[in-house]
Structure 1
Amino acid sequence: MGIIKAAKLFYDYVSKNEHDEIEDVVHAVAGVDLDIEAGQFIAVLGHNGSGKSTLAKQINALLFPTGGTLWVKNMDTSEPENVWKIRQTAGMVFQNPDNQIIASLVEEDVGFGPENIGVPTKDIWKRVNQSLKSVGMIEYSHHSPNKLSGGQKQRVAIAGVMAMEPECIVLDEPTAMLDPNGRKEVLETIRQLNKEKKVTVILITHYMDEVVHADHVYVMDDGKIVLSGKPKDVFSQVELLKELRLDVPQVTELAYELKQAGLSMPDGVLTIEEFLEAFEKIKGGE
């Protein structure tokens, strides 16, 4: 079993009237199966309302399944006695860093999590320094978070989670509120943590270009996983992604349009380098 595994996982949002009678049930997550190995970089894609954020909150035991089972490191998330250990194993970074940052100094904010889980004081500061170094924010230790850019705040939020030393980190659209530079900063940080620290990363996003380096991609629609595979396999299905109201990376779109126009471009082109290599082969064959 992987570090994260789901079997026929459901989560329902139930609305009731003033008489406490059920009026409507929405299957936000509907029969999802997952098996994520430790150390993988996983991306979960989907348009707004597809269920991806609800799935993310279940991995961190913020929501409990209404059907099926979700295990985090072999711990059933529906069992209350497991919640504390699950949240230590799978840390969560939300879309808006201001919702996670609570202290007046960066270093104090990063130390808040480890202090809450009972880490000895002498070890807290070691973790704070290591985490801030790992996200490139050590020189801002004594700064006020209020004076940081959006990208810097999000990196502090990630450091705060990393200081608790989770084996897995779940990021729920962490770049949605950032400008292009902020997005780039945060993505580089996430990839570095995955490669150098071997942290399992589950990135929830609707930005296609953020997932081209993932190990595996899951695409959600209407609470279900409707497509999964390596990025090249997923982005080879341009028409299906468009039907699911998703874009594809610009370079993938360009290669696809050229292929539709009659050029022998390969499917699933993900990077500019791949595009140029394929284009040079076409020119060489003329």
Structure 2
Amino acid sequence: MGIIKAAKLIFDYVKRDEEEQVEEINRAIDNVTLDIKEGDFVAILGHNGSGKSTFAKHINGILMPTEGTVWISGMDTSDENQIWDVRRTAGMVFQNPDNQIIGNVVEEDVGFGPENIGVPTDEIWKRVDESLEAVGMTAYRMKSPNKLSGGQKQRVAIAGVMAMKPKCIILDEPTAMLDPNGRKEVIKTIRELNRKEGITVLLITHYMEEVVDADRVIVMDNGKIVMDNVPREIFSHVKELKGYRLDVPQVTELAYELSEAGLPLKKGILNMDELLEQLIPYMKKELKVSGEYDSKEKEQSGKEVQKWE
């Protein structure tokens, strides 16, 4: 069993009237089964309403299954006796960092979580130091969070989760409210935590460029898992992704359009270097043919000049 496992997970949002009678039932998660290995970087994609955020809230025990089971490091999230251990194991970072930052000073905010679970004072400050260093925010430890940029605030929120020493971090669209620079800061931080610290990362996003380096990409639609593979394989299916109302990375889109226009390019190109690697041989071939044509034209032109002379 991996660090995150779901078996036949179903979750219904139930709307009730004033008399607590059921008015409407909307199925947000529909029979989802998956297993995520410890140390993996997994991205979950899906349009609004696909069920990806609802699934994320099950991992941290914020929501409980209507049917089925979710385990975190072997712990059943619906077991009330284990819920705090579940939340120590799987930390959650939300869209808006302002909803998670409560301290007046950065270092106090990062230390709040460990203090809340009874970590000794000396250990708290050690964790604060390590977490701020890991996200590149040590220089801002005495600053007010209100004076930080969006990207910096989100890194502080991540540090606060890290100070709890989780094995896994779930990030629910952590860059949705950030500008491009802030998004780059946060994604770089997440990748380094995964690679250097070995922390399992579950990233929920709608920015395709953020997932090209993931170990695995899961696509959800109408509460179901409809695609599950490595990024290159997922982004090889451009038409299918568009059918699920998703975009693809810009360079992948360009490669796809060029391929549709007749260029012999491989599927699933993920970055500009790969695209250039595919295009340069073709361009050299075209230039060579063009050069030969130009040479023949010059030769013929020379003969015509001699003829008239």
What amino acid does structure 2 have at the position aligned with 1:88?
A: R
Cα separation, 2, equivalents of 1:284 and 1:75: 58
Shift of 1:281: 2.9
Cα separation, 1, equivalents of 2:120 and 2:76: 28
The alignment status of 1:137 with 2:137, answered yes or no, reads: yes
Cα separation, 2, equivalents of 1:117 and 1:232: 41
Cα separation, 2, equivalents of 1:194 and 1:113: 21
Report the equivalent of 1:249: 249
What amino acid does structure 2 have at the position aligned with 1:274?
A: E
Aligned pairs, number: 286
Cα separation, 1, equivalents of 2:25 and 2:208: 30
**Offset from partner CA, 1:126-171 (integer Å, 9 cap, x none):** 1001100000000000000000000000000000000011000000
SS at match of 2:159: helix
Cα separation, 2, equivalents of 1:64 and 1:111: 28
Report the equivalent of 2:298: none
What amino acid does structure 1 have at the position aligned with 2:141?
A: S
What amino acid does structure 1 have at the position aligned with 2:79?
A: E
What amino acid does structure 2 have at the position aligned with 1:183?
A: R
Report the equivalent of 2:84: 84
Query: Alignment RMSD, CA only?
Result: 0.8
**Offset from partner CA, 1:231-263 (integer Å, 9 cap, x none):** 001000100111111100000000000000000
What amino acid does structure 1 have at the position aligned with 2:163?
A: A
Q: Which has the larger radius of gyration?
A: 2
Report the equivalent of 2:188: 188
Report the equivalent of 1:58: 58
Structure that is richer in helix per residue: 2
| Identical residues among aligned pairs (%) | 64
Cα separation, 2, equivalents of 1:141 and 1:78: 37
Cα separation, 1, equivalents of 2:19 and 2:158: 43
Shift of 1:229: 0.3
Report the equivalent of 1:214: 214
Report the equivalent of 1:16: 16
SS at match of 1:225: strand
Report the equivalent of 2:126: 126
SS at match of 1:133: helix
| Larger displacement relative to structure 2 (24-33 or 248-257) | 24-33
TM-score of the two chains, using structure 1 as the length reference: 0.99
SS at match of 1:206: coil
Cα separation, 1, equivalents of 2:234 and 2:207: 14
SS at match of 2:146: helix
Cα separation, 2, equivalents of 1:22 and 1:68: 21
- The residue correspondences of 1:24-63 to structure 2 (distance < 5 A) are 24-63=24-63
Shift of 1:19: 2.5
Unaligned runs of 5+ in 1: none
- The residue correspondences of 1:148-163 to structure 2 (distance < 5 A) are 148-163=148-163
Cα separation, 1, equivalents of 2:204 and 2:104: 29
SS at match of 1:7: strand
The alignment status of 1:223 with 2:229, answered yes or no, reads: no
Shift of 1:16: 1.2
Cα separation, 1, equivalents of 2:14 and 2:187: 35
**Offset from partner CA, 1:4-30 (integer Å, 9 cap, x none):** 001111111001122321111111111
Cα separation, 2, equivalents of 1:284 and 1:10: 55
TM-score of the two chains, using structure 2 as the length reference: 0.91
Report the equivalent of 1:147: 147
What amino acid does structure 1 have at the position aligned with 2:18?
A: E
Report the equivalent of 1:169: 169
SS at match of 1:176: coil
